[in-house]
Amino acid sequence: MKRIRLRVAYDGTNYCGWQIQPNGITIEEVLNKAITKLTKVETAVIGASRTDSGVHALGNVAVFDTESTIPPERFSYALNQRLPEDIVVVASDEVPLDWHPRYQDVSKTYEYHVIHTRIPDPTRRLTNYFVSYPLDIETMRKAASYLEGTHDFVSFCNIRTNVEDTVRTVYSLEVLTKGDQITFRIRGNGFLYNMVRIIVGTLLRVGRGFYTPEQVKEILEAKNRKSAGVTAPPHGLMLMEIEYKDSETSASQSGENKGRK
């Protein structure tokens, strides 16, 4: 028996998120069917990040156990022949049998993509959130700085979040611009349910002038979801990279091996 790790990229537009559920097709379900068809053995993957419906990824991670004689690095090629065009296994390798994609010392990087124009761009509508109203970029950057570090982010998570510990560390939160594109790039040791999208929704309200940057600090300290902004739509969100600190490889958009996740 061996454990195979997959780095998976996908366009989440047509899927009800990562995790298998009864109300629609999911990324996990499609992967399980492809692996089962390839190995002729019923197989279920374990995923690192359970992205929501409509959310995209360039670097999600999953593992599965198999007795197949296919070389670990060849699973990516074999599976891509059996997967739809909107799901791609970017790389595959072997890890120890006790290696778990969620129970590791990790950092995750998400990006939220916004098109900031007067008229929508239909060619980018599936992976970007269209915003036409004026935004103050520098004010959003100042507000974002209050969210960096280790905090209780209960104000920035969905009220249905079923976790006891809502403390997370945000290593960096950048507001980047290039042409009509605004990118909110956040890197942390983990994220609560809807946390990134609520942060983005709140920062956009700062950019519009509804909140001051200092009020974002107050929202954080309030520990009350009702004090924060609306949840930004899912289609602008993309899981870019997962780095494993105790591993020689990472799962990222680059496709290259490097230290930690």
User: Known catalytic residue: 52?
Assistant: yes
Full DSSP string of 234-247: GGGEEEEEEEETTS
Find the catalytic residue in 11, 52, 65, 152: 52
Report residue 32 CA to chain centroid gap: 20
Contacts of 164 (CB under 8 A, 6+ apart): none
Task: Answer yes or no: are the C-beta atoms of 232 and 112 closer than 8 Å.
Answer: yes
Instruction: Establish whether 112 is an annotated binding residue.
Output: no
Q: Given the DSSP bridges, would you call strands 167-178 and 181-188 parallel, antiparallel or unpaired? A: antiparallel
b vs e for 58-67, b when ≥16 Cβ sit within 10 Å of the residue's Cβ?
bbbbbbbebe
Q: Which two tokens stand for residue 46?
A: 């374990």
Binding residues for substrate: 110
Residues labelled as active-site residues: 52
Binding residues: 110
